[in-house]
Amino acid sequence: MSKARSLFSVLVVSAMALGAAPLATTPLAAAQSALPLPPAPTTDQRLEAVLPSPSGDAFFDAPAVDADGLAAATPGEELARRDVTAMAAPIAGAPISRATQFQFRTTSADGSPTFGTATLLEAPGTEGASGHGIDGEPLLVYNAAIDSLGRKCTPGFAYANGDIAAGVSPIRRIIDAFPPVVADALRSGTSVLVPDHQGPSMAYADPFTAGHTILDSLRTGPMPAAGRLVFTGYSGGAIASLGAGKLATEYAPEVAERLEGVAVGGVPADFETLMTSMNSNLAVGLLGAATLGVARAHPEMLDLLTDEGVQIASAVKDSCMDEVSLAGATLADIDRIAAPGALESPTAEKIYDLARMSDRAIPAPLYIYHGRDEFWVPLGPVRALAAKQRDLGVPVTMREVPGEHFVATFTGYPEAKDWIHSALRG
């Protein structure tokens, strides 16, 4: 399906389901309504309907081993690798010596074995004993704001297949290049690891999927030979970076020992708050996508949707960021596709609490920047996050910078860049 047709389906299906008046009852409809209702779909059936389609690139669609091999593998164990330098170099933003993709065993949000992927962009320099230029060197872990639902929407897919295959327009590539986090690191001689942190189920906004994927990407291939580590990301990438930071001590203590800092901006710190602040306005497309992403990791959430809600989710299940963002033009009310009281239900409250990860301390200094004029991603929960981490003994630097979500990306970046450089270089 082309981008135009996919966007059309997002807008039209959403508008029909959320805003259109019901059609007049016809005799046929009245007769059909008297027939026995079919059994309600099971949670597994609903999940199958909303999972992303295959990308067409086996590296991202299935593990390189069978189910028994995957179960026997340890978290972070390498399953496959490939060189993608030819396709990645033109879009890396700065010179690289090599780009290598790794597929590895990781853990899903429910604890079952799955696989993850990540791309290592190596800065020009001398190769180490591992055959890569990161031995003992600092490594920046850049968690992009993927904010998408389809498998072709990941950084890794673009690095391997190019922007055209990934559906990345020249304008989107320019937008994604600013602020130039990856390019600045590479120019400074720091290699960059870019995990596809939403996993093969594209569980956008789920911190457990992201955290496990990021941490296991640092256990695979040559990554254990790297030196100091810093995680960074903005918006959806901040969710991923915080998830990895908060899970590090428990899930990957050997990675936690090398972690020197986590730098995040535009932090969606409280999902419950976002259900109000991003609903029925231009941000609702991203809110709906994030809700679906979390539901892919926690399928019990799908039982809170109406049948129309599942149909809409299925129609948009492969959409990338541009498409889900533009779907905000519907100004839809997400309550209209949920069962009565769903957003205040015990299931919803459980997910809100899980996503906060409130009592987990990051084992390294934390740097946060956030727009003081934010309206879609409110500042209050971010201040609460900073205060909670301080209470847990974490050194926290908090900067409230000019602008809302988009402008703060730029106004907060210069100081964040300096902080990251200092954390990496010691």
CATH of the domain at 198: 3.40.50.1820
Contact call for residues 230 and 141 (beta carbons, < 8 A): yes
**At 274, phi and psi to the nearest 5?**
-65, -30
Characterise 266 by phi-psi region: left (phi > 0), alpha (psi -120 to 50), beta (else). Answer: left
* 29-83 pLDDT per residue, tens: 555 556 666 677 899 999 999 999 999 999 999 999 999 999 999 999 999 999 9
Contact call for residues 234 and 194 (beta carbons, < 8 A): no
The C-alpha atoms of residue 362 and residue 360 are separated, in whole angstroms, by 7
Q: What share of the chain is helix, strand, coil (3-state, %, to 5)?
A: 50, 15, 35
Strand order, beta sheet including 366-371: 78-83, 98-107, 113-122, 191-195, 139-142, 229-234, 259-265, 366-371, 396-401
Q: Does residue 179 have a cis bond before it (omega within 30 degrees)?
A: yes
Task: For CA atoms 372, 375, 377, 378, give the dihedral sign.
Answer: positive
β-pairing, 113-122 vs 396-401, is unpaired
Question: Does a structural domain hold residue 111?
Answer: yes
Task: Name the CA dihedral angle for 120, 145, 298, 378, rounded to a multiple of 10 degrees.
Answer: 150
The C-alpha atoms of residue 385 and residue 408 are separated, in whole angstroms, by 18
Question: Does a structural domain hold residue 333?
Answer: no
User: Largest Cα–Cα distance in the chain?
Assistant: 77
Residue 238's nearest CA partner among 403, 373, 366, 110 is 366
The pLDDT of residue 148 is above 80 = yes
Cβ–Cβ contacts within 10 Å for residue 19, how many? 12
> Domain limits at 407?
58-270+353-425
**Mean pLDDT value across residues 10-31:** 47
The DSSP element (H or E) to which 344 belongs, if any, is none
What is the distance of C-alpha 144 from the center of its chain? 7
pLDDT of residue 33: 56
Query: At 44, is the secondary structure helix, strand, or coil?
Result: helix
* 72-116 pLDDT per residue, tens: 999 999 999 999 999 999 999 999 999 999 999 999 999 999 999
Question: Does a structural domain hold residue 190?
Answer: yes
pLDDT of residue 30: 56
Question: Does a structural domain hold residue 83?
Answer: yes
pLDDT of residue 21: 40
Work out how many domains the chain is built from and give that number: 1
Task: Tell me which amino acid residue 14 is.
Answer: S
Query: At 213, is the secondary structure helix, strand, or coil?
Result: helix
Q: Where does the pLDDT of residue 128 fall: very low under 50, low under 70, confident under 90, or very high at 90 and above?
A: low
Question: Does a structural domain hold residue 69?
Answer: yes
The C-alpha atoms of residue 108 and residue 149 are separated, in whole angstroms, by 17
Task: Tell me which amino acid residue 371 is.
Answer: G
Question: Does a structural domain hold residue 242?
Answer: yes
Contact call for residues 83 and 222 (beta carbons, < 8 A): no
CA-angle at 398, arms to 394 and 404, nearest 5°: 140
CA-angle at 400, arms to 398 and 406, nearest 5°: 120
In the block, tokens 């290592």 appear at: 120
Q: Where does the pLDDT of residue 168 fall: very low under 50, low under 70, confident under 90, or very high at 90 and above?
A: confident
SS (H, E, C) 220-280: CCCHHHCCCEEEEEECHHHHHHHHHHHHHHHHCHHHHCCEEEEEEECCCCCHHHHHHHCCC
pLDDT of residue 423: 98
Question: Does a structural domain hold residue 25?
Answer: no
The C-alpha atoms of residue 60 and residue 66 are separated, in whole angstroms, by 15
pLDDT of residue 32: 54
The C-alpha atoms of residue 170 and residue 174 are separated, in whole angstroms, by 6
Q: Where does the pLDDT of residue 11 fall: very low under 50, low under 70, confident under 90, or very high at 90 and above?
A: very low
Angle formed by the axes of helices 43-50 and 307-315, nearest 10°? 30
Question: Does a structural domain hold residue 404?
Answer: yes
**At 373, phi and psi to the nearest 5?**
-105, 20
